[in-house]
Amino acid sequence: MTSHAPYLPSGLPIPVAEPDGLSAPYWAGLQQSRLMVQRCAHCQTWQFGPEWLCHRCHFFEMQWTAVAPRGRIFSWERVWSPSHKALREHGPYLAVLVELPEAGNVRMVGNLLGDPMQAVTIGTPVEGEFEHHPEAHPPYSLLHWRLTAA
């Protein structure tokens, strides 16, 4: 459980699995501070976002596999203009697209923790930090990123 205040104010949409449950293991994993990514049980291809079959070999047995939340910045943006009422009084914030070399270079979006005005360099190593919202309805967790300590 993190002791930090949430990176963004509360009130943004809460992520939940689709009615068919495709991504449920991913969201459940985050709540247990685990990053789960699909991997094909037949050809070992990594796949994110999830799908019901492997895009490479069409095998349906995709295994949810825990991976270390370590990666590098593939791209980034600094958001200035609020497009949601929860962000109206909030200053600029950073979103990053992180690729995970240990999971086939799949990518995921999160926020980059720390100074929102920091210079960001593509390729910089980052590690994940889970942000839990147990009091939310429904409870959920997010995965943010922080520059890897040198």
Partner 1 sequence: MSRAPSERTLRGRVAVVGIGETEYYRHGASPDPEFKLALKAILAASNDAGIDPREIDGFSSYSDDRSEASRLAAALGTHRMRTATMQWGGGGGGCCAAVANAAASIVAGLADCVVVFRSLAQGQYGRFGQTDGITTISGERAYLMPYGVLAPPQRFAMRMQRYMHEHGVKQEAMRAIALASYHHAQSNPRAVMFGKPLDAAKYDASRWITEPFHLYDCCMENDGAAALILVPAERAGDFRNKPAYILGAAVGAGYRSGAIPHNSPRYASASFDTLAPDLYGMAKVGPSDVGVVQSYENFTGGVAMSLAEHGFFKPEEANDFLTLNNLIAPAGRLPLNTSGGNLAECYMHGFELVIEAVRQIRGQSVNQAKRSDVALVIGGPMVTPASNLLLGSGATL
- Which residues contribute to the site for partner 1 (CB under 8 A)? 8, 12-19, 23, 27, 48-49, 55, 74-81, 83-85, 87, 92-93, 95, 97, 106-111, 122, 138, 140, 142, 144
Rounded to the nearest whole angstrom, what is the least distance from the CB of residue 134 to partner 1 in the complex?
A: 15
- Nearer to partner 1 by Cβ, of 22 and 42: the residue is 22
* Cβ proximity of 117 and 92 under 8 Å: yes
- Nearer to partner 1 by Cβ, of 70 and 107: the residue is 107
Task: Supply the DSSP symbol for 135.
Answer: T
What tokens were used for 146? 């922080």
* Cβ proximity of 46 and 32 under 8 Å: no
Among 109, 113, 130, smallest CA distance to 1 is for 130
Rounded to the nearest whole angstrom, what is the least distance from the CB of residue 148 to partner 1 in the complex?
A: 19
